[in-house]
Structure 1
Amino acid sequence: MTETAATPSLLPADYYLHNFEQMLASVTTRYLDIFPAEQQLALQRYQSLPDSSKMLLVRLLSRKGEWFRLDKLQYQEIGDINAAMQPLLQSELLQQALPPLEIWFTSVTLPELKTLFDDIGVPWFKRDLSKQQLWELLRTMPPSQAELSLWQQRQGLCWLQLHCQPLLELLLLLYFGNRYQDLSQFVLSDLGLQRFECYPLVREGRAYHSSSELQTVLSLATLADRWEQLTQQKLPINLAEWLAQVPSPQDNPIVERRRQKLLLKLAREAERQQQLVLAISLYPQCQDWTASERLCRCLIKLKHPQALSAVTALGQHAQNEAQQQTVIRIYKQLTKHFAVQVPLLPYSAPFDMLKPFKPAELRLELPQTSNLRVEFVTRDYYSAQGFDAWYSENSVLCGLFGLAFWDIIFAPVVGVFDNPYQSAPRDMYQPGFSSQRRTLIARRMAQLASGDRSMLHQHFINKQGLVNDWVNWQIFTEPLFKRCMASFPSAFLLAVFQRILRDPAHYRSGHPDLLLFDADGAPHFVEVKGPGDKLADHQIYWLRFLADFYPAKVCYVTWQH
């Protein structure tokens, strides 16, 4: 079946070329001077192409894989695909070649396969096999390249292979700064499905500053891809070979974080392979709390004399209750393995983890509604009891934080914005977020402490609909926002914001499912648990925190029979 790419009706026919060129212009303005020579050559060849050939190339780059059947390419806005293909072949951005057998097989039809039977000697009594059965047969008696070439000529087929994916991978890396956004992001924005905050993108704020840094990050990206492939296929991992490919420590913090991320994976694999001495040598090279935790566990297993000091340091750097609880558990292991009594928590703990806490409980038996989640059934129950009940989960407290600090989150800090499509700065969930903006945050907290909450109202109105990691506009609507602003005093908001700023990545989840307002306007927080569901630790910690201000409980729901 011929594939026809559908162009969104609201966009011009060549929208994808415009988007690619926009990405290209942004990247080359900031990074062209440090491009690898091979990618500079590919870029020059691309720029010399006629528009129709550029459009075909971008179409192919946007598809999955590197091999394509020419007869299955049909793009109305390009017109003659053969004519558009010729400059690409001449520039060697594309080439004509036969793909590997497995890729070839998945792209041919069963009727087409049957025309090959005589060439490769398939017995007549096996010619009624399914395509999958034929694949098993072909694997045992694979046709030669000459046989496939002859068959392809008779069929009039032409295979195209991309020869410039490294250029696209480089552009995506430098433009988006991550491994999950791609060219589809442009379409979401072009169609108005996503709108983003405006912030400056300047050459001085680029992530990489030299060819060597760029080469290192490209090598790390290749290693990350290989690691993912190996682990998905559950293939054996030779740690010595991998460690030989890890680059030396980097001055650029962005590149160094990527390097340490790979080192952490290698250290964890060393631990799985019971190479604890190797793991102990790798974990200290990673500035990550998880790495420090795993180091402590390895030291305890080996009864290493540095175990106690390592666990003490781990506790001193705990940023949330979950980490603090982990430290307590590790101390218990330390006592057990060393068979001596070690002092518990020999430092000033920032969290009152030893204080017993059991959330207030309510048990309800409700009629089950097939098309509603248990949280919504419970919300409707509370509404019937006279509460103004909202399903809010993480959206209320996070939304208030996002509105209060919106301008600070998107402040023009050097090196945290790579492209116009970011829902948060690069360092939003890293320890440096607060330290980079310490003065701005202190001023905002003082402003809130004085009772001035005007910035929340201003941001709610002026930023309506813009993408922000912290604000879920679909749930945090104007009526809910107004109820919160009328009910939550500044002291409560300050406590919530201080808690979130301590560890934004951790504290943006685990919030109670429901927010209720009673007849007097007083807030109540309710975590809902359906049959068989249990409270997670981080949900308990949030209930403990909220219970110091308002009624906060867990509601266990069973279904009526």
Structure 2
Amino acid sequence: MQVIDWLEHRYADVLSVEELGFIRDFHRLPRDSKALCVRMVMRKGIHFRASKLHYVEIGDIALAAGPLLALGWIDEHCPLPIEALFDVLLKAEILQCFGAVIDQPKGKKTDWLPTLSERFPEAQAFAQWCAPLEDRLFSLTIMGLCDRLRLMFFGNLYQDWSEFVLADLGIFTYEKVEFCADSRGLRSREDVDACLFLHDCQQDFEAGEAVAEVVERINGLVLSNPWLQRRRGKLLFQIGQHCERIAAFSTALTIYRDCAYPGARVRLIRVLERCAEYQLALGLATQAEQAPESAAEQQQLQRVLPRLRRKLGGPAIKRSSPREMVRLDLQLPRVDPALSVEHYVQAQLAEDSAPVHYVENSLINSLFGLLCWPAIFAPLPGAFFHPFQRGPVDLLNEDFHVRRADLFQACLAELDDGRYVQTIRERFTAKWGVQSPFVFWGVLSEELLDQALDCLPADHLKHWFNRLLLDIKANRAGMPDLIQFWPQDKTYRMIEVKGPGDRLQDNQLRWLEFCHEHQMPIAVCYVQWLEQDA
């Protein structure tokens, strides 16, 4: 009922005649029929054996199913191909119904399917297939409609109705956000249809349909909703990457040229280079160098530009050497291969007076998330669509920080006068377990929080937090694996761990460079395994 009430209140002008009729009829159903309908919609698939529907809150399934059958929401005469029938029958039941034509009754039921499919190519109702079984099969006919309602409620099709169960059980807790009148992702019926169209295009692409046809359909879609435009851009970017992988460079070039999704420009440059279009690639890379869209793009341009100039016969340009890093070299016995290399280094370096925590991206992100909670969960238009959001929809958009600049400034100002310590501690208690795109509750303990707040200087926190806000998607990953604290001295050291043959990734290199630039203590630890005696 929560979904129905929500949709009626917020999407009345968007709902179709069919959807409004469904809501009207749902309200009129007996309680047990409503419960059965909800149970079936929440379950996987669309075919349900009456004998398998046992729910305390429903009672007599046959009585509850009557009104649903009358409305046509379920059908017990739906023709089933034998492949679908096999999904709802046990092995013993298949033998009971088809034993006379199964040559090897001791085999697996999957072994019987090819022969039976060839012998029985026509679809039939369950009662026709399985006359010996005293059971009924209900087939849900409204799943498409329910998926449209789910899309309007969640703003996506990857979340499902289990969110309600998980929330009711207390497994997931979400921040309560005030929803303004503009808080909905799909503003019109055209938006709903366009979102479903994009979803179908993605399904067709993943099913192996011709890429050119899928791309043509996607590009033919007229969109005025910025949120959907970004979705389309992301889908095209993914298709472009697929074309690169299969060496369909001409199609990849066409896609990337018209794609505004972050990262498309540098991919276009790389594909031009692979096609030996060095002059075009250099011109685009030179233009991008003047205004890189992100630190990640700038880093990649620093690699590709010298290479392109060299290929065009230009003078060799020496790349700047990476900054010298503090290096630790350890040789350790690998007693338990199941343990990660980070755990070995943590155990090796830890002391009673200098604890080491395996935090990777969790600590800095969590401190940022706790301090900036009001800004992150601000009820801005287009940020929150429903009560089951882990964070704002526009979290990874380029204007995420800009739209909340004053709010973030107020939060970060607490780092200047020391208020942040009490704020973070209070929020750690008050918000414990509430879903957040930044806070790692499974890692953040009270001990770790206390040591971090005692040992991490406020100006270092401010540098990290501002860097996160520059590019959340790129910068909330790549942080060093370990952190070591010296509580008595109120100091710390971050440690990036590399096992044999492992190398620093681009996002890790950017974080290391950033920390060196701001005189933050950081080291890279290289591990070699000691040979074990036989």
Instruction: Give the structure-1-normalised TM-score.
Output: 0.85
User: 2:525 maps to which residue?
Assistant: 554
Which residue in the other structure is 1:122 paired with? 101
Shift in alpha-carbon separation, 1:439–1:117, aligned structure 2, 3 A: closer
* Structure 1 residue 254 displacement after superposition: 0.8
Matched with 2:147 is 169
Q: Counterpart of 2:139 in 1: which secondary structure? A: strand
Q: 1:542 to 1:34 in 2, by over 3 A?
A: same
Counterpart code for 1:34: V
Displacement after TM superposition at 1:508 (Å): 1.3
Cα distance between partner residues in 1 of 2:430 and 2:404: 22
Matched-pair contact (CA < 8 Å) for 1:392–1:514: yes
- Spell out the pairing of 1:84-233 with structure 2 (5 A cutoff): 84-96=64-76, 97-117=78-98, 122=101, 126-142=104-120, 144-145=122-123, 149-228=127-206, 230=207
In structure 2, the partner of 1:459 is: 427
| Percentage of pairs with the same residue | 29
Matched, 1:280 2:261: no
SS in 1 for 2:495: strand
Shift of 1:189: 1.9
The alpha-carbon deviation at position 367 of structure 1 amounts to 5.9
Contact persistence 2:384–2:392 (CA under 8 A): yes
2:345 is matched with which residue? 378
Q: Deviations over 1:368-408 (max 9, x none)?
A: 24675443343233234742222222121111211221111
Residue 155 of structure 1: SS of its match in structure 2?
A: coil
Structure 1, unaligned stretches of length 5 or more? 1-20, 346-352
Whichever residue aligns with residue 80 of structure 2, its letter is P
Q: Does 1:46 align with 2:26?
A: yes
TM-score, reference length from structure 2: 0.89
Q: Which residue number in structure 2 is paired with residue 8 of structure 1?
A: none
Contact 1:319 1:503 in 2 (8 A): no
- In structure 1, distance between residues paired with 2:254 and 2:385: 34
- Matched-pair contact (CA < 8 Å) for 2:262–2:293: no
264, 267, 286: which one aligns with 1:312: 286
- The RMSD of aligned alpha carbons is 2.9
User: Is 1:323 matched with 2:297?
Assistant: yes
In structure 2, the CA distance between the partners of 1:385 and 1:259, relative to structure 1 (3 Å rule), is same
Cα distance change, pair 132–72 in 1 and its aligned pair in 2 (3 A): same
Match of 2:457 in 1: 489
1:25 counterpart = 2:5: yes
Query: Aligned-pair distance for 1:358?
Result: 4.1
| Superposition deviation, residue 439 in structure 1 | 2.4
Residue 75 of structure 1 is matched in structure 2 by 55
The one-letter code matched in structure 2 to 1:462 is A
Q: Deviations over 1:179-228 (max 9, x none)?
A: 33222222222222232222112332222222112211121122223323
Kept in 2, the 8 Å contact 1:531–1:556? The answer is yes
Instruction: Deviation per CA, 1:391-439: give whole Å up to 9, x if none.
Output: 2221211112112211111112111001222221111122111111122
Match of 1:396 in 2: 363
User: Separation in 2 of the partners of 1:249 and 1:316?
Assistant: 32
Q: Is the 8 A contact 1:359 1:540 kept in 2?
A: no
Q: Identify unmatched segments of 5+ residues in structure 2.
A: none
Question: Greater CA deviation, 41-50 or 376-385?
Answer: 376-385
Say which of 395, 398, 408 aligns to 2:375.
408
Aligned equivalents of 1:446 and 1:117: distance in 2? 74
The structural deviation recorded for 1:122 is 2.4
Check 1:399–1:271 CA distance in 2 against 1; reply closer, same or farther (3 A cut).
closer
Question: What letter is aligned with 1:485?
Answer: L
* One-letter amino acid of the structure 1 residue matched with residue 90 of structure 2: T
CA distance in 2, matches of 1:185, 1:208: 20
Q: Note the alpha carbon deviations across 1:457-511, whole angstroms, 9 max, x for none.
A: 4433432332222112332222222222222222211111121111111211222
The reply to whether residue 442 of structure 1 matches residue 413 of structure 2 is no
Assess, with a 3 A threshold, how the Cα gap between structure 1 residues 48 and 478 changes in structure 2: closer, same or farther: same
Greater Cα offset, 449-458 or 88-97: 449-458
- Asked if the contact 1:400–1:456 (Cα under 8 Å) also holds between the matched residues in 2, the reply is yes
Q: Distance in 1 between matches of 2:248 and 2:262?
A: 21
User: Which residue is 1:423 aligned to?
Assistant: 390
**1:537 matched to 2:506:** yes
| Displacement of 1:359 | 4.6
- What is the SS of the residue equivalent to 1:525? strand
> Is residue 56 of structure 1 aligned with residue 36 of structure 2?
yes
3-state SS of paired residue (1:133): helix
- Residues 22-65 of structure 1, C-alpha deviation per residue, up to 9 Å, x if partnerless? 12222221112111333223333322211111111111111111
SS at match of 1:239: helix
3-state SS of the aligned residue for 1:527? strand
Q: Does 1:528 align with 2:517?
A: no
Q: 1:243 aligns with which of 216, 228, 233?
A: 216
Matched residue SS, 2:13: helix
Q: Which moved more, 1:276-285 or 1:292-301?
A: 276-285
**Secondary structure of the structure 2 residue equivalent to 1:33:** coil
- Between the aligned partners of 1:299 and 1:560, the Cα distance in structure 2 is 47
